[in-house]
């Protein structure tokens, strides 16, 4: 899996990740408090300025925006149809501003930086005995490690069914996929414990 983080050194990359996350939360709240087009348009422009200077190149930047823009435009059309033009413009600007700010943060905060922030956020939980911060990192790594294995298994099951002349169907593929994958849990857990990865 290739992360959406963009490995460059723009001015936004140099800002502390925590600051960027705080700004994003503040912006998210602010755009819902604002309901006039002018301040929202300014927010959207500021978002665009951040997003397009986050170092990903124009082409990649536009490619990432398309799925989000499709939903935003659909919402705006829906609003235009059933409500007023002013409300449609407000919804369009508000959502666009949010998407742009969020996209900029995603492109400029690395997976490692995110994990550090998550570990920090998990510290109170750890002190309360509810979760272990190190486990969050281990679990995340396990997902990234085993997604390609499960995809490979999915393809193998589909092929095996095709070889037997069965047209691959959702349920017939899903059941062996889940059972075989979950059965691995025992041996993976045994390996983790045998290597002493987790503190008692």
Does position 82 interact with another protein (CB under 8 A)? The reply is yes
The residues, any chain, with a CB within 8 Å of residue 161's CB and separated by 6 or more, are: 167, 168, 172, 173
Write down the least CB distance from residue 42 to another protein, Å: 18
Whether 12 contacts 108, CB under 8 Å:
yes
Q: Which of residues 160-189 bind another protein (CB under 8 A)?
A: 170-171, 174-175, 177-179, 181-189
CB nearer to another protein: pick between 11 and 197: 197
Which tokens hold the place of 110?
Answer: 């690395």
Helix extents (H) in the chain: 11-14, 17-33, 37-52, 58-82, 85-108, 111-127, 133-163, 170-194
Does position 156 interact with another protein (CB under 8 A)? The reply is no
Candidates 38-46, 54-62, 150-158, 160-168; binding stretch for another protein (CB under 8 A): 150-158
Does position 198 interact with another protein (CB under 8 A)? The reply is yes
CB nearer to another protein: pick between 42 and 180: 180
Write down the least CB distance from residue 158 to another protein, Å: 12
What does the DSSP assignment read for 76-94? Answer: HHHHHHHS-HHHHHHHHHH
CB nearer to another protein: pick between 42 and 175: 175
Does position 52 interact with another protein (CB under 8 A)? The reply is no
Burial class (CB in 10 A: 0-12, 13-18, 19+), 37: middle
- Which of 23, 45, 75, 89 touches another protein by CB under 8 A? 75
Q: What is the DSSP letter of 53?
A: T
Determine the Cα–Cα distance for residues 75 and 157; give it in Å rounded to an integer: 40
CB nearer to another protein: pick between 42 and 70: 70
Write down the least CB distance from residue 51 to another protein, Å: 10
Q: Which of residues 103-142 bind another protein (CB under 8 A)?
A: 103, 105-107, 109, 111, 114-115, 118, 132, 135-136, 138-142
Determine the Cα–Cα distance for residues 5 and 55; give it in Å rounded to an integer: 10
Does position 22 interact with another protein (CB under 8 A)? The reply is no
């Amino acid at each position: 899996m290739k992360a959406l983080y963009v490995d460059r050194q723009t001015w936004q990359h140099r800002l502390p990740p925590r600051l960027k996350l705080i700004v994003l939360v503040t912006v998210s709240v602010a755009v819902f408090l604002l309901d006039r087009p002018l301040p929202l348009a300014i927010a959207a422009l500021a978002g665009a300025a951040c997003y397009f200077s986050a170092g990903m190149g124009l082409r990649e930047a536009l490619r990432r925006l398309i799925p989000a823009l499709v939903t935003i435009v659909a919402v705006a059309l829906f609003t235009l149809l059933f409500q007023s033009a002013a409300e449609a413009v407000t919804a369009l600007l508000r959502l666009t501003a949010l998407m742009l700010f969020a996209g900029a943060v995603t492109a400029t905060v690395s997976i490692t930086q995110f994990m550090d922030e998550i570990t920090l956020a998990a510290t109170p939980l750890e002190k309360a005995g509810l979760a272990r911060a190190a486990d969050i990192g281990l679990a995340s790594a396990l997902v990234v490690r085993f997604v390609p294995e499960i995809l490979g298994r999915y393809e193998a099951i589909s092929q095996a069914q095709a070889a037997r002349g069965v047209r691959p169907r959702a349920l017939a593929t899903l059941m062996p996929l889940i059972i075989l994958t979950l059965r691995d849990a025992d041996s993976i857990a045994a390996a983790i414990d045998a290597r002493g990865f987790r503190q008692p």
